[in-house]
Each structure stands twice: as structure tokens, then as C-alpha cells.
Amino acid sequence: EPEVTQTPSHQVTQMGQEVILRCVPISNHLYFYWYRQILGQKVEFLVSFYNNEISEKSEIFDDQFSVERPDGSNFTLKIRSTKLEDSAMYFCASSAPASGGYTFGSGTRLTVV
Amino acid sequence: GENVEHHPSTLSVQEGDSAVIKCTYSDSASNYFPWYKQELGKGPQLIIDIRSNVGEKKDQRIAVTLNKTAKHFSLHITETQPEDSAVYFCAAVWGMNRDDKIIFGKGTRLHILP
């Protein structure tokens, strides 16, 4: 069964450093998303991406965040200057136009120290 | 704003019994309601979904019912098994476009007791 692949599975970074979280969505999907989950809390929407541009973003997704689809397969989330409160699991997801569901990756655990 | 609430937040059932998790949502424009199961260390996995033009959907031991008037939908798991232990998230999707964001509830932790 097709999967959404995320790398790395765990990333530790120092406060103020830039991080890039990588995702390979399912190949025929056209819509891409990033979500985050702070430990023990609910999954929160960050951003959706379609046709090479952001289609919607949440209040969490401020100027420190950016997304990119640098080639035909990768979808990246960049946090320019990490803060302690950015520590969370970050999930990438993708969906196809006519399908009923969103497929999530296994997540990247980001720890900012 | 958009809001999805789980009831209860924690649920323990004896193995073999049924489990029911209910979610309420705030925006009547929601038209798609997926349920996700999240096991420790893994991403949310879609287990069943329902659209607003359908009242009930079943897939083996799992079923979902939707009451649009009351703005709630429920996940039903019958003949529960130990592997059903997980956190279950309901979600609601607003709008008709496929790039609309999912709004998740806070989740229900389901414990299956031996």
C-alpha cells in the first residue's frame, strides 16, 4: 500500500537553528499538508499546499515557517529559527482529488533544546 | 471558530465488548468526517470516514453514524480486541474542496481490558 514517508524520524536541534523536515507524499496525490502534535495534545493543522502554492495556513504557521516542493517528489517544512515551543511531532499528509481520505506519514519528532 | 469535541476523552472496555466514541462539531458546513487511529509512535491512520449525505457506514467491526441535525457523529467498534487499544481522533472537514484542512478533536484514548 502506498505510504507517505517522512525523514528524519527524530531531529534534535538547538534553539535558534533552522530545521528542514522532509516528506515524500504518495506519488499521484496532489494535495499536501503539514500538521503538528505537541506531546499529549491534539493534532493541529499547519498548512495545506496545492498546485505549487499554499492554499491555507493556520495561525501557528507564522513567518518562521515555510514549505516547498523542490522537485516532483519531496515536500518540505522549514522552520527558520526554532523555538522551544516548536518541539512536537510533525506529520506530513497527502490526499488525491477524488479519494476519501488523507494519508499521514509516521511523523518527525522535533526536539528543540 | 471551528471546533470538534470528543466524548469521552478516555474509555476502557472489556475485550469483546463494544466501544462507542462520540464527537460533536460546531460548523454545519462540514461535509466530511473521517476517523483516525493513532498508535504510539505512529501517524494517524484513517480507519473509516463518512460524508454528509450518508447516515451510517460500516466496515467489518467498525461503523460510523452521523446525525447532521444534532451535529454529532460516532465511532462504533464491536467485539473489541487488544489491538484496538489506541487514541482515536475524529475530524471534520469544512468546505467542498479537497485542499480543505482537517480539524481534529483532542482524541479519545481507548483501553481494551483483558
Measured distance CA(B25)–CA(B23) in Å, rounded? 7
CA neighbor of B4 nearest in space, from B71, B101, B53, B77: B71
pLDDT tens per residue across span A66-98: 999 988 789 999 999 999 999 999 999 988 765
Residue that has been written with the C-alpha cell 509516521 in this structure = A106
Measured distance CA(A27)–CA(A2) in Å, rounded? 8
Q: Rounded mean pLDDT of A21-26?
A: 96
Closest residue, chain A, to B40 (C-alpha): A106
Residues of B in contact with A101 (CB under 8 A): 34, 46, 49
CB contact under 8 A, A42 and B104: yes
pLDDT tens per residue across span B75-106: 999 999 999 999 999 988 875 454 566 778 88
- Say what the pLDDT of residue B18 is: 98
Higher per-residue pLDDT: B1 or B18? B18
- Say what the pLDDT of residue B104 is: 84
**CB A3, CB A26: distance < 8 Å:** yes
What percent of chain A lies above the pLDDT cut of 70? 96
- Say what the pLDDT of residue A47 is: 93
Measured distance CA(A51)–CA(A31) in Å, rounded? 8
Residues of A in contact with B104 (CB under 8 A): 35, 42-45
> CB under 8 Å to B103, separation ≥6 — which residues?
A45, B2, B3, B4, B25, B91, B92, B93, B94
Average pLDDT, chain B: 88
Strands A10-13 and A108-112: parallel
Rg of chain A on CA atoms, in Å: 13
CB contact under 8 A, B99 and A56: yes
* Amino acid identity at B72: H
Q: Is the pLDDT of residue B11 over 60?
A: yes
Q: Find which of A52-56, A105-109, B60-64, B88-92 is predicted with most confidence, using mean pLDDT.
A: B60-64
pLDDT tens per residue across span A45-60: 899 898 889 988 899 9
**CB A91, CB A36: distance < 8 Å:** yes
Residues of A in contact with B103 (CB under 8 A): 45
